Structure 1
Amino acid sequence: MSRIDKLVDKKYCDNLLDNEAPLSKDEKSRILQMTMDKMPTNNMKKYKKKKLLVGILVATMMLSTVVMANEYFELNLDNKLLSYLNIDKNNESLNGAGSYINKSVSENNLKLNVKQTLGDKHSLYILIDVEAPKDMIIPKYATFNEMDVNLRKSSSSGWGLLDIEDENPKDNKKSYIISFSTEGKLKRNDISIDFENFGYYKEDGEFITLVEGSWKISWKLDYTDVSKEVVLNKFVTTKKNKYFITTVNISPISVSANIIGQNNGDFMIQEVTLKDGTIYKEQDFISSGASSSFLKAFSNVEFSKAVDVNEVDSITIDDKVIKLNN
């Protein structure tokens, strides 16, 4: 009896609701007695012993699970993505945003493997491993002569093949990260990437083919969109333009804005400012871009270091600071 009362006292009652006053000893005893009274009278001793033991065991396991989850949480992301994007592996704000793909294609003894992705509403990073023929040492700046990224639900988009540090520059393996952004939604969309001819560019711009061929990999994007949408619906006037900004989407890896107005070429996000005064500018972005059609524009930047979504204070477009009331 004293053991269950001690467990209730220390683990539950005093901390069950943060804003509630602790239960008195009399109240705890009364609640405990009410619980015992509800149990069947036949074989009471045996029943109580078994049920209390199971209850204590379940409660202890639940508490242990919560403690372990808090203390040992790590992002399920490859170290290459963590390193290139300067992401802390204990960053819980990106939980679920990563996805293992592990889809491969081979031609002419060159194998491509889409290993993993990290994405939000409009931006996506794709980790790709390349394995060349065994007798080939991949040059430092090896790349593909042609590359194309397509979505089943197409929209304006842009991409780039990022050359990351080679762990062993004297072997036949190399990894890349594709940075992809689109005006449309990525989650649950079908994506395909086409590659053609693997080699390198000489200083004069001539492409030297090491492995000739074409490779295509397709899969469905399935991950948790951790973006936060800020609805603005406000007019913004600058020296050159007047436009209407509808929404801004913020995630730890990117910021994007949806805009209505003319002269869409001026609607690039130039800066992102945090509440502590930290300013992210062009040199702090892995990529930035904008697309437009008639009166509609979309602008997107991808951070070189993951940010706290709730700490984003404003964005700057066309030299105008726009507070987000985030």
Structure 2
Amino acid sequence: MAVLEIHAIRSRMDDRIKYALNPEKTSCIGFSNHNGLPDTLTDAVNCFCDTAYEQMEGTKSYFGKTGQVLGYHFIQSFKPGEVTPQQAHEIGRQFAERCFGERFEVVIGTHTDKSHLHNHIIVNSVSFTDGHKYRSTPETFYELRRISDEICRTHGLSVIEQPKHRTGKHYAEWIAENEYRPTIRSAIREDIDVVLMQVRTLDEFWEHLRRRGYEIRVNPNRKYVAIRPPNGKRFIRLKSLGDAYTPKQLANRIAAGRGAVVENIRKIKVRRKQLETRKKYRPRNPFSIPRGRLTLRGIRALYWKYVYTPVYCPVRAP
């Protein structure tokens, strides 16, 4: 089974290529490849690994398309223990040749440093044949995923029969999540989860978010609801946070937890009423005589004895 992800590259494409071809992550002594680096699970299509970045930049410069999206980073991950490193690399190479071999330069690096083997496939955004740029859309991605599944079947691997349609992630966010570092979207999800436990309606949910410093953009002329966190630079669509954070799903989650919220509010009101009606005690003077007691005991009795007992002083005759 291979899971396919795609990330657009908008800066430092050279770093992506270096990361994909990192010898420490792709090391495989004695592995023979076509256009890759010696003793590594690396390969290239329509270019060579050691000069891939220069060739891709030369193609973009030749056609005058050096801005915007520089390339695409595909990650093809396999189920642990299902494939060998060589087999995973062969699947990634076949995928690159079949999908991009006729028009684009591609490098492939198979990483073996994790429990799950995965291919990093870097594709130039500009075609070396006609200068046209590759346009990534949901339709093209589903077609690429279909091809990836087809290649996996030919190698006897399992595939996900009904994959969920998930929105793509920025590469920096993907790296941060894999390294268990917080991201702006993870912080927003945490705030939303906390607020959902305190509200009974969707309107209350928006109001609580505003109190936390969020800006809400709900416009009938716009298809998606977007929010901007405190000190945030731009608005983020709720649907980009995941399937559980769309307005429809938020309303369903609020409805499902409404009983618990109402019960919590009732308990808080009861507690406040108990605090208002309970008997208040004032600190008592430790040296005062308690009402209803005519005799003193303990240290208090000894204290009053020394205070009021007259001291006998004999008078000597002159």
TM class by shorter chain equals under 0.3
Structure showing the higher strand proportion among its residues:
1
Higher relative contact order (CA 8 A, sep 6+): 2
Give TM-score, length-normalised by structure 2: 0.21
Per the normalisation by structure 1, the TM-score is 0.21
